[in-house]
Structure formats: structure tokens, C-alpha cells
Amino acid sequence: MARGRVAVVLFNLGGPDSLDAVRPFLFNLFADPAIIGAPAPVRYPLAALIAAGRAHTAKANYALMGGASPLTAETAAQAGALETALAGRLMESEAKVFVAMRYWRPLTAETAAAVRAFAPDEIVLLPLYPQFSTTTTASSLAAWARAYRGPGRVRAICCYPTLDGLVAAHAARIEEAWRGAGAPEGVRLIFSAHGLPEIVVQRGDPYAAQVEASAEAVAARLSRPFDWRIAYQSRVGPMRWLGPTTVDEITAAARQGLGVIVSPIAFVSEHVETLIELDHDYRRAAEAAGSPAYIRAPTLSLQPAFIEGLAGLIVGALDRSGGAAPGSDFTCGAGWRKCPYRAEGGAA
């Protein structure tokens, strides 16, 4: 079926492309009302203060990665792979994949201008956050709505926590990492996700429920059973956050004489939270706790099952009416009132 020009927009957080970009990147992050909900006259000075306070440590971390985040390059590679996959599925259409980053280049406004110049007939918005949160997906979609003034019928994929390709790719990464480490016995699988303040979830954000759904689906797909847990990383500030923390679970496993396999269940690309937090900081914590093994499964990156799964999501979105809808069979429960699909009347 010919659909004319199809624009696919991949959303991600972005990362600094140089050490000089670290502080403005942090400012953009903390100036987002989805991250700090204070009014603008309070939020902007506070964001500047936090960015200044965190810049030194953050620069040191990015220096360890060569002076920049790999997230932009990885996302561009995913866009290229996805465009190739779509060419085989939408042979009578012209499909082009764009990247829009929330906090650093290419920023949403820049991408919106490029999409407008492409003059699409159809637009599919695809956040690279498999699990929906108001702090990630909703923020990126809101930024797009503010920036885009061009043609094209729009559909948004709000989440895909149990997408078959996502689940298969995570399972493959875990088993490859385990076998690559010599297939040790006596290891616990820890699904590590970026944390959120508990108040965000209490207000109806479905993120934690969707992380649980992803972890359960991946654990069930593995060819051998692992004892597994869900944990959260990257806590900042004094608020009460989702728990347990990843470090706590690593330490608890070590006390029981168990090693760990850590799977970044909420991340699809390598970046500072995987390459520094998981690979350096948490590895040291495991060693200090006496863990007999520390294994880290890579992110999904260009795993064929993952890319093909995303391509299927896009084609499926083109066959439905506009608005936001999940890209897998997961449905948010009645308590998750921040779910955009429920808000549009799409869930029971």
C-alpha cells in the first residue's frame, strides 16, 4: 500500500557531544518542567545551580568515555538500521527516519524543521524509551507538539514494554553475556532501570509497572531459569526514590555468595548510566562487597530482533487512527492515570 512520504521520529534524551557541552546539557535537563515541576522563575535558576554543581563530576565521567556521550552516534546508527528495515516493508512509500534529542543536539526544534522540509504525508513518533514515563516519553512528545508546524497525519507510540523483538533481544544479550563470562553458576539476574522519585509513580505514572512487565517477559524468554530481581539506579537529590537500588541488590547477592548479571532493562543504547555507572561504579561496588562475579549485559543497540520489532511497530501504527497508543499487548491498569492511551479513551 502506497503511503507517500513517511517520517519516523526517534526520540531520546541526548548527551553532550563535547566536554564544553556538559554544563548546558545539564541545564536543559533540569530546566525541563517534567524533571523539576517548579514555575519557570524558580526552575531556571535552580537548573543553573544544579548544572553548575554537577558539571565537574559529569565532565570527569564523559572524559572517561572519550569526551562525549556515545548516545547520539548510537541513536543515529539505530535510525539508519531502522530506515533500512522499513525500506523492505514500505516498498511503495518513501520512509525517512529522523532523530530528535530532548536535551542536546539534534534538539527537537531542529528535527521538526527537517521533518517539515521533508513534507511527509504520515508521521510516526517513536520514543526510544520502551517504558512510558511522564519524565521521558511525555516530555519528548510535548516538546514535539510545541515545535512541529508542518504537514502529515501523526501517530505516537507511547510504549512497548513487552514488544516481542525487545524481549527477544534482551534475552539474547543476557545469555550472550553469561556465556561469554564462562556460564558461571550461582549468579542472580538484576534488571536495572533508571530510577524515579516515588511521588511520580504515586501520581499515576506507569513506568514502574511497565519495567516489571518487561522484566517478567524477558525472564520468561530465557532458555535457562535465573533467580532475578528488579532494581533502580541513578538516584539524585533528597526525595524518596523507587527501590531497591541496584547497588543494594548487588550487595545483597554478594552476601549470599552470589554473583550478578546486570541487564539495563530500560536503556536501548549505551551512555553514561551504562558505561560509567554500571561498568565502573557498580563493578567496584560488587568487588568491594566480595561478589564472585559481575557480568553486565549490553544494551540492545542494533540487535536485529529489536530493530525489526521497531519496524513492525511503525508499520502497525500506520494502520491505525491518530493519537497515542502502546506498541505491544501491554495495557495500563486503571490506576495509571498518566498513561496517554488511557487519557484518550483507548483503554478499558
Q: What percent of the chain has pLDDT over 90?
A: 88
pLDDT-based confidence at residue 346 (cuts at 50, 70, 90): low
pLDDT tens digit string along 294-303?
A: 999 999 999 9
How would residue 343 be classed by pLDDT, with cut points 50, 70 and 90? low
Which spans in 225-276 are helix H? 246-255, 272
CA proximity to 277, closest of 192, 340, 216: 192
Q: What is the CATH number of domain 164-296?
A: 3.40.50.1400
CB of 323 within 8 A of CB of 155?
yes
Domain residue spans of the chain: 19-64, 164-296
Q: pTM for the full model? A: 0.95
Residues 205-245 have pLDDT tens digits of 999 999 999 999 999 999 999 999 999 998 877 789 999 99
How does pLDDT run across 92-109, given as a tens digit for each residue? 899 999 999 999 999 999
Coil, strand, or helix at residue 159? coil
| Each residue's pLDDT tens digit, 5-14 | 999 999 999 9
Identify residue 122 by its one-letter amino acid code. E
H helical segments located in the chain? 22-30, 40-64, 71-89, 108-118, 137-147, 164-180, 198-202, 207-221, 246-255, 272, 282-288, 304-318, 340-343
Average pLDDT, the chain: 94
pLDDT at position 340, please? 84
Q: Which secondary-structure segment (H or E) carries 123?
A: strand 122-127
Task: Give the model confidence (pLDDT) of 37-85 as tens digits.
Answer: 999 999 999 999 999 999 999 999 999 999 999 999 999 999 999 999 9
